[in-house]
Structure 1
Amino acid sequence: MIPSIVFIMALIFRQENLTFWNIIGQAKIWGLLLSAAGALAVVLWKGPVVLTSMLVNIKGTSDSVLGSVMIIVGLLASSFWNILVGHVLQFYPAELSLTAMMNLFGTIQTAIISAFVISWSSWKLKWEGGLVLVTILLGGVVVTGLSYYVMMWAIKKKGVVFEAAFNPVLVVFLFLLQTFLLGNSIHLGSIVGGVFVILGLYLFLWAKANDMEKERTVADDSAYSPLSSTMKVEGKSSTILPTRKRVQQ
């Protein structure tokens, strides 16, 4: 749902343009809707089993009420983060130092909350053959550090909606990892949802590519307009005339 929420927020804060009745505007809307529908289909609709995995299926306990509240809070927080970062990068275009500051303050906040919420016995690391260390390094270096830097770089280059449009692809990758690593069976809903996500992402990227081409064409036309050419010619003539006068003298 993050791309749809970010798209609405970007329209409100004027970080994205939309011509509703244009084919490009319709492609943006339907692309985001298809991606959101596909991601929801993977999570909420299982359907009949298409292929049963031979691996051991790992299941955990769940709390639907608390989980739903945390998911909604996470969606809103991630969407606001995209909008705020897109605005901050206009005035502070240093993605690497911005990523470092975000991770530093995130670490401080997490440490303070963990000191009150998590019991002291939970701070003892159970290495489990090195798997815990690999998870910590992967989460700190790749998932947090590198991914935030890449996301901010993408927001700076292409905009907040472009970066957020790739979020439903995470659902497809999680479906593949759960199938081949955790032993979950393949359901029809996962396949249909994955197809919807890819089609929606393709529609949206096609619309953004056309938007960028139009903006580039408008910029080129304004740069080589007759008015700007006349101003350039007049500027050259004004610098050449004094030289001619000096030569005649």
Structure 2
Amino acid sequence: MRMMDHLMKKDVLEEVVIISILIGIQVVYAGNSILMGYLMSIGLTPFTIVIYTSFATFLLLSPIAFLFERSKWPKKFSLKLLIQLVLIAFGGVTLFQSLLLKGINLTSPAMATSMPNLAPGIIFVIAWALRLEKVKLSCIYSKVKIAGTLLCVAGALTMSIMHSAKAEVAVGGNRQSETSGMAVSPPLNVLFDKDKIIGCFYLMAAIFVLSTNVVLQAATLGDFPAPMSLCAITSLLGGFLTAALQILQYHKLESGFPVLSVSNLISYSLVGGVVSGTCVSFNGWAMKKRGPVLVSMFNPIGTVCSVVLSIFTLGESFKLGSLAGMLLMFTGLYFVLWAKGKEGYNTYSNSSCSSGHGDGFASEFDPEKPLLS
């Protein structure tokens, strides 16, 4: 009895620790997005931020990866693995972070933290297209996943449109023509903020790149089963690729020294590196313990925290229509996650959902398969 009580207490304590860490990670992500928005507002470019945080992530993670994962490193790096690492670095570090930061700069941190809730639906579509995800329209879980994905997209579009709507619309729409007395339709640039619309597209593109990158990471982890080492290597490669892209685009490498002192640059870089490395490591640990479905369910907390922090620190307001779009996106996210969780447990008992090959749905979000997160 004492042994059972001890095990029960241990399980409860572990559950509390996991949930607390997952909530803490979302709060940290929200704070980090506010910090990135501030750094860009004082003049740092997205490329510069990506370069510094990427190198900081490598410096912080590489010693830990060497200590705990070197036994999992492949003895020989094949050409295929090298190409995969470069693609992950370019997509997950250079392209994703640059698009995300540009999106934050043009919209708001709250919008940036809400868009990643699209990722499970987009990953599902990409995996379906690549035949990594088995879908049967006769299965209720497949129908729910498709409906959830559509809700996510509808919510993102609604949120983007409402977030870009200008407050002057009501005034512009009531203007009368002095000569004809007829109502004059306001021009499109009065109805919507062009910069915010472009920023929303940047964020959507960033999440599409991230989702594609997650599928590629899943394939790479099969040959290189060391997630922290993979993160460290791709951060280093991503830093160099971002620097090369900045030189090609602007014909110079901006250091950010006129904007911030060297000590401040180092401090902000270390903060970015700690946030990235720590959150990736804890997320990976939590996924091993409880699976990616539980981890993904905490994503909306980051959005809520970001909205609250933006209101109190940046003085931003959030429109009711944007909140409605966010609610649609959250609903779609939970539809997808619910279906993925149920699918993993019920494929054997539900014949209409069985693949006929004895393996059920080999899906990337199955609770016991934390490969795609």
2:257 corresponds in structure 1 to: 124
Whole-angstrom distance in 2 between the partners of 1:81 and 1:9: 10
> What RMSD over aligned residues (CA atoms) do the two structures have, in Å?
4.1
**Corresponding residue SS for 1:176:** helix
TM-superposed deviation, 1:110: 1.6
Out of 116, 127, 138, the residue aligned to residue 10 of structure 1 is 127
Out of 139, 142, 145, the residue aligned to residue 275 of structure 2 is 142
**Corresponding residue SS for 1:16:** coil
Change (3 A) 1:23 1:8: same
**Corresponding residue SS for 1:45:** helix
1:86-97 correspondence runs (5 A): 86-97=218-229
Normalised to the residue count of structure 2, the TM-score between the two structures is 0.44
Higher radius of gyration, 1 or 2: 1
**8 Å contact kept, 2:155–2:328:** yes
1:95-114 correspondence runs (5 A): 95-114=227-246
2:159 corresponds in structure 1 to: 42
Change (3 A) 1:208 1:2: closer
Letter matched to residue 114 of structure 1 = Q
TM-superposed deviation, 1:96: 1.2
Unaligned runs of 5+ in 2: 1-117, 168-192, 351-357, 359-373
Percent identity among equivalent residues? 30
**8 Å contact kept, 1:34–1:199:** yes
Whole-angstrom distance in 2 between the partners of 1:62 and 1:139: 30
Whole-angstrom distance in 2 between the partners of 1:137 and 1:90: 30
TM-superposed deviation, 1:154: 7.6
1:78-126 deviations in Å (ceiling 9; x for gaps):
2321111111122322111111111111111122223442645653164
TM-superposed deviation, 1:19: 2.2
The answer to which of 8-17 and 132-141 deviates more is 132-141
Higher RCO structure, 1 or 2 (CA under 8 Å, sep 6+): 1
Whole-angstrom distance in 2 between the partners of 1:48 and 1:180: 21
Change (3 A) 1:194 1:40: same
Normalised to the residue count of structure 1, the TM-score between the two structures is 0.63
Change (3 A) 1:92 1:121: closer
Change (3 A) 1:216 1:106: farther
1:19 corresponds in structure 2 to: 136
**8 Å contact kept, 1:24–1:207:** yes
Whole-angstrom distance in 1 between the partners of 2:223 and 2:347: 22
Letter matched to residue 139 of structure 1 = G
1:46-85 correspondence runs (5 A): 46=163, 63=195, 67=199, 70-71=202-203, 73-85=205-217
Change (3 A) 1:43 1:68: closer
1:58 corresponds in structure 2 to: none
Whole-angstrom distance in 2 between the partners of 1:142 and 1:40: 29
Change (3 A) 1:205 1:122: same
1:187 corresponds in structure 2 to: 319
1:142-182 deviations in Å (ceiling 9; x for gaps):
13x334456667888857x9988877776555433322321
Whole-angstrom distance in 1 between the partners of 2:140 and 2:284: 29
Unaligned runs of 5+ in 1: 50-60, 223-249
**8 Å contact kept, 1:86–1:155:** no
Letter matched to residue 147 of structure 2 = W
Equivalent pairs, count? 206
